């Protein structure tokens, strides 16, 4: 993916069939679907792919065990089906993870074993593992690090685990391979309408080139997640909000606190929510919370009560209780929940299913949803466009479309997350001693990955590389900050940037890192 070439293509294309606003899970999914059907497709992202919510998930591809408990069988069935499809279409990013629910009371495991048996049945042929009851001895073996009094018995079930931002980059690459044009750092600053009040294009600002241009389109999709209301206000100022943002935080700690291969799932915490402790990139992601917030921003900050809640719940379960000093990184995401019709609903009561709405102007809103169902959301979006005669009828082909990087999984080596691109990164390292060096002595990341991110994955800034192409910021914020200057200098050589750019990039990134550690 070459950004300069894509910007040039945007300027010289008379009209697009589909313009997608937003480069997160939803927008990227729509771009892949539209392009693979044969529509001329443009995706515009204001900052970087997956900069917002889509890089800040719990790293799970799941059907939603708690949705089953709430009786939303249709949502669970849909999510389990999509989980199975992603496992087949992007095996290099998908890991079938065993989750253990500890049985504190004698009846706990029996109760959840039955519910999760139903969970397996709903997955059908796309099941990735079978639920089983564990006795006290087996549970202790699986959950070393958890207090013995919590482990009278247990239940083991399977769900998917993945790297969200890496999938986003691979979807951008897949969209391009299918004929789409994608561009980061391109902000939509206005919507163009014809004499009948129907949207016929967008006004775009290239924030890196500081240039504004008009883009014509038959169909415009608002896939901006928590920023949906902002785009809708361009369409109809003063209209009702389509989404309400909910904040969730995650703490990243060392694996020593839960050293086994299995993840821990606490089905009911002190406030009635679900808590996960999931192995990820040789760390442990613990979360999440669910707090309604008023302000929408790209770098939401953790609330003290959220941090205390997760640490206290971890203390209740883990033999060695993690403290603030043990937290390597804290990251915060905002969920774009479909606004409830009734005022005062809690976040637990707001549906997690997605909605596709075609507004009076023809603008298509994709609202809500989650990473697991991104492909189905995209299919539903294109179906709505076709039904409303914004596009001609062409069939969806993404159910079995292989995603860029498709190759057998290898989670033992961090380069395995690159899938079929791994060999090219290894070649870069083999041919250049600097590219073969580690960014940091305690982590496996190589300068070859930085080179690859700039050349092939459209990374434009130090943050793009260290937060989303390489997940360093999310794994250890202090360690990531320590390599800022060196990596910026290395990028500058490839991008043709000067000393001032290096200083600004390093300074901005170190400042950002402060939000990710205590």
Q: What residue ranges do the domains of the chain occupy?
A: 3-53+165-242+346-400, 88-163+244-338, 414-516
Give pLDDT, residue 272: 74
Query: CA 285, 287, 292, 298: dihedral to nearest 10 degrees?
Result: -10
Residue 348 has pLDDT above 60, yes or no: no
CATH architecture of 88-163+244-338: 2-Layer Sandwich (3.30)
Mean pLDDT of 74-78: 88
Of the listed ranges 62-76, 124-138, 308-322, 430-444, the least confidently predicted one is 62-76
Read out DSSP for 152-198?
SEEEEEEEEE--HHHHHHHHHHHHHHTT-EEESSEEEEEEEE-TTS-
C-alpha–C-alpha distance, residues 459 and 466, integer Å: 10
* Average per-residue pLDDT for the chain: 94
Q: Is 476 helix (H, G, I), strand (E, B) or coil?
A: coil
Mean pLDDT of 390-401: 98
Residue 445 has pLDDT above 90, yes or no: yes
Residue 258 has pLDDT above 90, yes or no: yes
C-alpha–C-alpha distance, residues 7 and 185, integer Å: 10
Residue 75 contacts residue 180 (beta carbons within 8 Å): no
Residue 97 contacts residue 263 (beta carbons within 8 Å): yes
Give pLDDT, residue 340: 67
Angle between helices 25-36 and 164-177 (to 10 degrees): 20
C-alpha–C-alpha distance, residues 233 and 13, integer Å: 27
Give pLDDT, residue 345: 52
Tell me if the bond preceding 288 is cis, omega within 30° of 0.
yes
Top pLDDT among 342 and 399 is at: 399
SS (H, E, C) 90-140: CCCCCEEEEEEEEECCCCHHHHHHHHHHHHHHHHHHHCCCCCEEECHHHHH
Top pLDDT among 486 and 113 is at: 486
Neighbours of 195 (CB within 10 A): 6
Of the listed ranges 50-59, 64-73, 448-457, the least confidently predicted one is 64-73
Per-residue confidence at 14, pLDDT binned at 50, 70, 90? very high
Give pLDDT, residue 111: 84
Residue 214 contacts residue 17 (beta carbons within 8 Å): no
C-alpha–C-alpha distance, residues 70 and 21, integer Å: 33
Structure tokens at 438: 């580690």
Of the listed ranges 20-29, 283-292, 415-424, the least confidently predicted one is 283-292
Give pLDDT, residue 351: 56
Q: Is 356 helix (H, G, I), strand (E, B) or coil?
A: strand
C-alpha–C-alpha distance, residues 348 and 319, integer Å: 30
Give pLDDT, residue 109: 83
Give pLDDT, residue 274: 84
Residue 516 contacts residue 330 (beta carbons within 8 Å): yes
Query: What are 331-345's pLDDT values in tens digits?
Result: 999 999 887 665 555
Distances (CA, A) of 410 to 55, 322, 421, 431: 21, 29, 13, 23
Residue 82 has pLDDT above 80, yes or no: yes
Residue 245 contacts residue 335 (beta carbons within 8 Å): yes
Mean pLDDT of 369-388: 97
C-alpha–C-alpha distance, residues 409 and 91, integer Å: 5
Residue 457 has pLDDT above 60, yes or no: yes
Give pLDDT, residue 271: 73
CATH of domain 414-516: 1.10.8.870
Fold of 3-53+165-242+346-400: FAD/NAD(P)-binding domain (3.50.50)
Neighbours of 1 (CB within 10 A): 21
Q: What is the pTM of this model?
A: 0.96
CA atoms within 13 A on the CB side of 34: 34
Give pLDDT, residue 353: 78
C-alpha–C-alpha distance, residues 357 and 195, integer Å: 22
CA-closest candidate to residue 208, choices 505, 485, 3: 3
Per-residue confidence at 346, pLDDT binned at 50, 70, 90? low
For residue 339, the 8-state DSSP code is P
C-alpha–C-alpha distance, residues 476 and 21, integer Å: 31
Distances (CA, A) of 166 to 90, 123, 170, 247: 11, 25, 6, 22
């Amino acid at each position: 993916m070459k950004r300069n070439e894509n910007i040039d293509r945007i300027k010289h294309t008379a009209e697009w069939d589909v313009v997608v606003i937003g480069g997160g899970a939803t927008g990227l999914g729509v771009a892949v679907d539209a392009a693979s059907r044969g529509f001329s497709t443009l995706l515009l992202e204001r900052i970087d792919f997956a900069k917002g919510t889509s890089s800040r998930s719990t790293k799970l591809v799941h059907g939603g065990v708690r949705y089953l408990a709430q009786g939303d069988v249709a949502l669970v069935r849909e999510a389990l089906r999509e989980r199975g499809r992603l496992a087949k279409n992007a095996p290099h990013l998908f890991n079938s993870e065993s989750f253990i629910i500890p049985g504190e009371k004698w009846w706990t495991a029996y109760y959840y074993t039955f519910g999760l048996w139903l969970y397996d049945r709903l997955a059908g042929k796309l099941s990735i593992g079978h639920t089983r009851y564990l006795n006290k001895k087996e549970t202790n073996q699986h959950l070393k690090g958890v207090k013995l009094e919590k482990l009278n018995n247990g239940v083991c079930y399977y769900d998917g685990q993945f790297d969200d931002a890496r999938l986003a980059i691979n979807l951008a690459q897949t969209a391009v391979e299918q004929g789409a044009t994608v561009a980061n750092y391109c902000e939509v600053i206005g919507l163009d309408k014809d004499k009948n009040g129907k949207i016929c294009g967008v006004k775009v600002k290239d924030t890196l080139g500081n240039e504004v241009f008009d883009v014509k389109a038959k169909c415009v999709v608002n896939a901006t997640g928590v920023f949906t209301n902002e785009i809708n206000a361009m369409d109809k100022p003063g209209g009702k909000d389509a989404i309400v943002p909910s904040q969730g935080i995650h703490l990243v700690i060392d694996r020593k606190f839960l050293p086994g291969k299995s993840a821990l799932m606490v089905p009911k915490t002190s406030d009635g929510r679900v808590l996960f402790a999931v192995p990820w990139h040789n760390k442990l992601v613990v979360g999440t919370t669910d707090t309604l917030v008023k302000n929408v921003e790209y770098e939401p900050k953790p609330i003290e009560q959220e941090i205390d809640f997760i640490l206290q719940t971890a203390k209740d379960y883990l033999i060695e209780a993690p403290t603030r000093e043990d937290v390597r990184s804290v990251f915060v995401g905002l969920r774009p929940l479909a606004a409830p019709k009734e005022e005062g609903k809690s976040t637990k009561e707001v549906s997690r299913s997605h909605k596709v709405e075609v507004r009076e102007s023809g603008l298509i809103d994709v609202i809500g949803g989650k990473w697991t169902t991104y492909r189905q959301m995209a299919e539903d979006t294109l179906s709505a466009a076709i039904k409303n005669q914004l596009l001609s009828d062409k069939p969806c082909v993404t159910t079995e479309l292989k995603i860029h990087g498709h190759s057998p999984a290898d989670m033992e080596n961090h380069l395995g997350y690159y899938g079929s691109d791994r060999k090219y990164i290894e070649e870069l390292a083999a041919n250049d001693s600097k590219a073969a060096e580690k960014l940091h002595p305690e982590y496996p990341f190589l300068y070859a990955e930085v080179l690859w991110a700039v050349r092939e994955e459209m990374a434009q800034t130090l943050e793009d590389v260290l937060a989303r192409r390489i997940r360093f910021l999310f794994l250890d914020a202090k360690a990531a900050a320590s390599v800022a200057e060196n990596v910026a200098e290395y990028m500058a050589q490839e991008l043709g940037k000067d000393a001032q750019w290096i200083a600004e990039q390093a300074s901005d990134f170190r400042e950002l890192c402060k939000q990710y550690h205590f």
